[in-house]
Amino acid sequence: MSQKSPIFVDWSPTSLTLIHTTKSAIIVDTYATVPQTEELADWIEQTAPGKQIKYFFTTHAHPDHFMGFPVLQKRFPGIKAMATSKVLEGIWPMYTPNWVKLWQGFFPNQVDATQHDWEALPASNELELDGHILKAYDVIQGDSSANSFLHVPSLDLVVAGDLVYGDCYQYLAEANTKEKRANWIKAVEQIESLQPKIVVPGHKRRSQIDGAYLTETTKEYIWVFERELEKASSAEELEKRMIELYPERWNRFILERSCQSSFAAKTSKEQL
C-alpha cells in the first residue's frame, strides 16, 4: 500500500482568533480549505450569536491563513478582508496560477482560490472595534517576508501568526539565511517588548496554552536550528538531528522543506 505524503497526514494545525465585543467581531486568520472554513463559520455563529462579523484580518501572506475567506464572505455579508499594505504585497502573488496549483495540489478539491477584494489598513495600521483599538505591526521577517502581528492592548493580547509557533516544526524555508533568521528573532523580541500576557501562535496543538512563554520557545528553536545547521553535512543530517531534539513537534514536511532550503543556501554561500 502506498504511503501518504506527510503533508496529508500531519499538516500543522492552524490557530484562528475571534475577538468580539457585545456588538461586533473580528476574525484573525482562517483556514486554507472550504470544509474547514465552513466549520469555522459554524463555530463563529455559535460563539458570537447575533453579532456583526465586521472584519477578517490575516497576519501574513501564506494561503493557509487566508485562502478560506470566500466562505466567510458568503456566511457573513459585509465582512471586510483586511491586512497591512506590506502583507498585501505578498498576498497578490498567491493568486497566480502556479501558486494556486500548488495549494490545490496540497488540498485537492478543497480550495476556493477566488480572488476577492482586500483593504489595506490605514497608515497607522490600526482598526477600531466598538471603541477598542487593534494595532498591526509589520516586521522585516518571520516565516515569510510579508508578515505582521496584531496587538490588542485592552486584552494584553498579541495574535502572532507564524512569527510564533507552538509544538509544530517552524517553517524556515523562507528564512533560510542567518540574516533572515536573525530578523525573525528581532520580530519576536518586538512582540515581547509589548509585554502581552496572551500570545496566540500561528500553529500549535489544541491543548497548548496561548501564553507569552511561546516567544521564548520560538526563539530557542531558531537558535538550535542555526547551531545544528552549522554542524550538519547534509539537509538529511540536519533534519534527523532536529527530529531527535524536537520529537514531539508536528509536520515533518515543513521540517524537511526548511532543512533543504536552509542547507542549500548555506552551501551556496560557502561556494562563493
Sequential DSSP letters for 116-170: ---EEPPTT-EEEETTEEEEEEEES-SSSSSEEEEEEGGGTEEEEEEEEESSB--
Residue 234 lies in a domain: yes
Residue 1 lies in a domain: no
Please report the sign of the dihedral spanned by the C-alpha atoms of residue 192, residue 217, residue 135, residue 89: positive
Global confidence as pTM: 0.94
Q: Determine the pLDDT at residue 5.
A: 44
- List C-alpha distances in Å: 244 to 10, 11, 167: 18, 20, 14
Residues 138-149 have pLDDT tens digits of 999 999 999 999
Q: How far apart are CA 153 and CA 196, in angstroms?
A: 8
The mean pLDDT of the chain is 94
Q: Determine the pLDDT at residue 116.
A: 86
Q: Please, how many CA atoms are within 13 Å of residue 206, restricted to the half-sphere of its CB?
A: 0
Cell output for 119: 483593504
Q: Determine the pLDDT at residue 1.
A: 27
Domain assignment of residue 46, given as a range: 6-270
Q: Residue 270 above 70 pLDDT?
A: no
Residue 121 lies in a domain: yes
Q: Residue 2 above 90 pLDDT?
A: no
Q: Determine the pLDDT at residue 9.
A: 44
Task: Specify the 3-state DSSP secondary structure of 61.
Answer: coil
Please report the sign of the dihedral spanned by the C-alpha atoms of residue 78, residue 17, residue 221, residue 139: positive
- The CATH code of the domain that includes 252 is 3.60.15.10
How many domains, the chain?
1
Residue 124 lies in a domain: yes
- Mean of the pLDDT values across residues 244-266? 96
Q: How far apart are CA 6 and CA 154, in angstroms?
A: 40
Residue 229 lies in a domain: yes
Residues 47-101 have pLDDT tens digits of 999 999 999 999 999 999 999 999 999 999 999 999 999 999 999 999 999 999 9
Residue 129 lies in a domain: yes
Q: Residue 4 above 60 pLDDT?
A: no
Residue 228 lies in a domain: yes
